[in-house]
Amino acid sequence: MWDPSKGIHIGSFTLHFYSLMFVFAFGFGYILMTRIFKIDHVNQKYLEPLFTWTLIGTILGARLGHVIFYQPELFKEDFWSVFLPISTKNGFKFTGFSGLASHGATIALIFTTLYYSFKIIRKNPFWVYDRLGIVVALGGAFVRMGNFFNSEIVGKPADPNSPFALLFPQQSSEYGLTVPRYPSQLFEAVGYVLLFILLWILYRKTDKKYQQGWLFGLFFIILWAIRFFVEFLKEPQGDEFIQIGGLNTGQVLSIPFMIAGVVIMIVSKKFKITQAENEKPE
């Protein structure tokens, strides 16, 4: 039985666990990137703008991605709720940001990081993507933990005798009766933690960080493969507008990212740099 409180009550204010997981994701991400910049002997002045552009890309991209891929009717029914943490449907109401899609966040981060790479730190974008992938893998685990606390993105019904079967009494009414389900959020979170550990070891113990794009390509392949296979155990998220050959929207959208990862790993051979080149802006 998974029936947690919604958050930490501080007087009349409630700090929701979902919001807290986002704070952890960006907080630990900032600390980790600080460590990475020190290892690479990169000036810390480039850290703040990276954090700012990553925050903008993640939140705005994730929100737009969810609306475009899963809930496009919001553009007509409640336009301002697409961009702001409010609802104007049936009266004004503060809702916080609900409905975020990792595919949208990824696309937005690609573009915000391109701007950061060319205009601010002046390094090959793959250099930034390699390091950002390590941080995002860990951050993704915190986000899925937030989904677990919210009893959302729940798994499909499971055999009651399965060691993975959980009841989510707080689940949204869209999932129907409260029955034993797979904790798909935890499966995904564990996968992302393992991906983070793998990328960190490769970054620290090998010279792959000097082959710009290699770590990022590997990150793309494994992260979206995790998402692809966990989707088999997930309930649909909203209306499934994109379905091909029995695959749901999340799976169809993951395939191009995995293919892109393979291509990036192949072309990364052209972007090898020396340790000296790694330690200074271009």
Which residues make up each annotated binding site? 144
3-state secondary structure of 170: coil
In whole angstroms, what is the distance from residue 174 CA to residue 178 CA?
Answer: 11
In whole angstroms, what is the distance from residue 23 CA to residue 45 CA?
Answer: 22
Question: How many angstroms separate the first and last alpha carbons of the chain?
Answer: 54
Structure tokens at 130: 């390699």
State the DSSP string of 9-39: EETTEEEEHHHHHHHHHHHHHHHHHHHHHHH
Identify the helix (H) or strand (E) that includes residue 116: none
Cross-strand bridge partners of residue 181: 157, 166
Q: Do the Cβ atoms of 101 and 69 come closer than 8 Å?
A: yes
What are the contacts of 240-246 at 24+ separation with CB within 8 A? 241/69, 241/70, 241/72, 242/69
Identify the helix (H) or strand (E) that includes residue 86: strand 86-87
